[in-house]
A and B are shown apart, each in its own frame.
Chain A
Amino acid sequence: MQHDQLSSTFAALADPTRRAILARLASGEASVTQLAEPFEMSMPAISKHLKVLERARLITRGREAQWRPCRLEAAPLKDIAEWIEHYRQFWEQSFDRLDDYLRKLKAKDKRHARKPRKN
C-alpha cells in the first residue's frame, strides 16, 4: 500500500502543470476556474489533472455547494520531504568527513613537500 502511495505521488508530481497547481494551492484553497486561469488549457484538461492529484491524495475537493474548492493535502508530500531530508543529512555528514579528509591530505602534502612525489 505504502509503495503504491509513493508511486502515485511521484507520478502526479512528474507533470509541470500539476506541480504548478499544487504550488498555487499552497497559498490557499481555490476553485477549478481559479486554478485554470494561469494555464492555456481547457476545463476538461484541468479537471483531468485534478483527478490525478485527487487519486494521489495530494488534494481534496470540498462538498460546498457549487464551487467545490480544491485543497492541498500535505501528507503525501511529507513522505517526499522526509526523503529529501534523509538525503540532506547524508550529504552534509559526508561533506564534513570530506572536509576533514582533505585537510589531512593537505597537511600530509606539506610534510612531504620537500620530497619528490609521484603525482
Chain B
Amino acid sequence: MPASHAKTSTTANPLERELTLTRVFDAPRDLVFQAWTDPAHLKQWWGPNGFTTPACEVDLRVGGAWKIVMRFPDGSNEHTMQAVYREILPPERLAFTSVALDKDCNRLLEGLTTLTFADLGGKTKLTLQTRVTGLVSYAGRMLEGMEAGWSQSLGRLAEKLASPTTTSDREIVATRVFDAPRELVFQMWTDPKHISNWWGPRDFTTTTYEMDVRPGGVWRHVMHGPDGTDYQNEIVFLEVVKPERLVYNHVSEPPFQTTVTFAGQGGKTKVTARMLFESATLRNKVATEHHAVEGLHQTLARLGEQLTRMAGPADQEFLFTRVFDAPRSLIWKAFTESERLMQWWGPKGYTMLTCTVDLRPGGVFHYSMRSPDGREMWGKWVYREIVPPERLVSVVSFTDAEGNLLRHPMSPTWPLELLHTMTLSEREGKTTLTVTGVPTNATEEERKTFRAGRNSMEAGFTGTLDQLAAYLASGHDVD
C-alpha cells in the first residue's frame, strides 16, 4: 500500500493483520515520549482531524489502564479507546493492547500496538506497529442490550477484562512452588536454551525455531509427542515483566491466552500458570482431547525436575563414577539384559530371585532379591530415555511384587522415586560409568533425608558395582 501522506511511510499486510508506520518528528525523544504518556499532552493531539478529547486517564505502569474519550467533530457521538500497557521503557518503547470499535460501530477488535522512539540527534523517529489480534470474543454479548453511550459500555468491558471471577469456567490453572530464586525460574521460562529442556507434558521434547521475549515477539516451537506426532506452536508475547509476569497468546490452534506469574517466597518461587480460552466449550474440548490439565501439571513438574538437576551435584545429587576394564557395549548389556542382571545386580551379599526387563521408554526393569538376613525385597526401574550404549535414564524405586511403590525398608522418609541417569563412555577399551541420582516428586523432608543419606547410598552402590566388576572379570561374559 503506497503511503498517501508524504511524511509518513506505511507498510500494511492484511495476511499478517499488521500495519507499520514510521515518521520523523522535529522534537527531542523525551518530549515525544511524554506527549504519548502524559494525559495533558494527549488531550491536545489525539485522534483524527476535528475530534476533541474530553477525557483521558493514564495509569502508566505495566498492566495499568489507559482510557481516552474522543468526541466526534459534530459532537454527535463519543468513542472510547480502552488500552492496557504491556511494556513501558522510557523514552524508547511503549506497547499496549487496545480494544476499539470498528467503523460500523458493531464489532470490537483487539490489537497490540508497539511504539519505538529512536533518537536522531534532536529529532525523533517514531515507528508504530499495530497488529490486530482478533475480535473480542465476548463483544457480541457486550454489544447486545446496550443502553447508553460507548464510554459506559466500554467501561464495563474493562471491568470484565479485569475481573478474574467470571473466567473460571474457561480456564485451566496450575500452581507449583519451586525451590529456586524467582530470577532463575523466570529465566527458565524465557531463555530458549533452558525452555527446551523441560517444556511440555511428560515424554514430550521441544525444538525452538525462534524465541523473542518482548511484547509482540514470537516463540515458534515444535513439540514432539511420545507417539511421534509433531505439534507446531506459535506464541506471541503480550506482556513481559521480568521477573514477575508473562502474558502470551497461543495463536496456533487451539487459541488461548496464558498468564504466568512468579511470586517470591523467601528464596522459593510460586508459579501460577493460567490458560484462558475464549469459551468454556473450547476449554473443555482441549482438556478432554489434549489432556491439557494433566499436561500443564506435568510441564510444571518437569520444570521442577530440571531446576533440581541444575542445582548441581554439590547439594542435590548423588554422583558416582567408576572405570571398568571392559568395552562399553558389554557394560550396556550387563545393565539391560535380564539374564546378565541376574548374575550380578544387587548389593553385596544379596541374591537375585527374579528379574524382568522391558527395555523401551516407559518400560520396566522389575526385580526381586533376598537380603543376607533372608528378607525378600522388590524394586523397579521405569525407563525414561534409552540411548544404547551410552545413556540410560530411569526412575528408580522400591516396590512390592506387583510393582506398587514402597518406602525404603530402613528409612520411612527416603524419597519414593529417584531419577537415575547413567552414562557410559569408552576409551582404549575401558569404560567410565557415571551415575547421578536425584529425588523426583519428593517432599522437602524426603530431600533432606536424601541429602543426609547420600553417602551411604554411594557406599551401597559401590558394593553393587564391585559385583559387576567381579562378574566381568570372571570371564563368564563375553561379547
Contact = CB atoms under 8 A, between A and B. Distances in A.
Interface in A82-119: 82-103, 105-106
A40 to B, nearest CB: 9
A28 to B, nearest CB: 16
Contacts of A91: 19, 21, 128, 130
A43 interface: no
A14 B255 contact: yes
Interface string A9-23: 011011111010011
A98 B134 contact: no
Interface in B188-239: 220, 232, 234
Contacts of A15: 234, 251-253
A84 B46 contact: no
Contacts of B17: 10, 13, 80, 84
Interface in A59-80: 77, 80
Nearest to B24: A99
A41 B128 CA distance: 36
Interface size of A as a range? 35 or more
A116 to B, nearest CB: 19
Contact of A97 (B7, B19, B45, B128): B45
B48 interface: yes
A80 to B, nearest CB: 5
A86 B17 CA distance: 13
Contact of B16 (A17, A19, A87, A99): A19
A38 to B, nearest CB: 14
Given A81-B14, A94-B46, A98-B35, A10 B107 contact: no
B17 to A, nearest CB: 6
A51 to B, nearest CB: 12
Given A3-B107, A93-B49, A105 B132 contact: no
A6 interface: yes
Contacts of B23: 95, 99
Given A16-B252, A84-B132, A89-B48, A106 B14 contact: no
A91 B46 CA distance: 9
Contacts of B109: 83
Contacts of A101: 35, 41, 44-45
Given A14-B134, A77-B15, A99-B25, A82 B103 contact: yes
A7 interface: yes
28 contacts: A7-B134, A13-B15, A14-B251, A14-B252, A14-B253, A15-B234, A16-B220, A16-B252, A77-B14, A80-B17, A81-B12, A83-B109, A84-B17, A84-B18, A87-B132, A88-B10, A91-B21, A93-B49, A94-B48, A96-B7, A97-B47, A98-B32, A99-B7, A99-B26, A101-B35, A101-B44, A105-B27, A106-B27
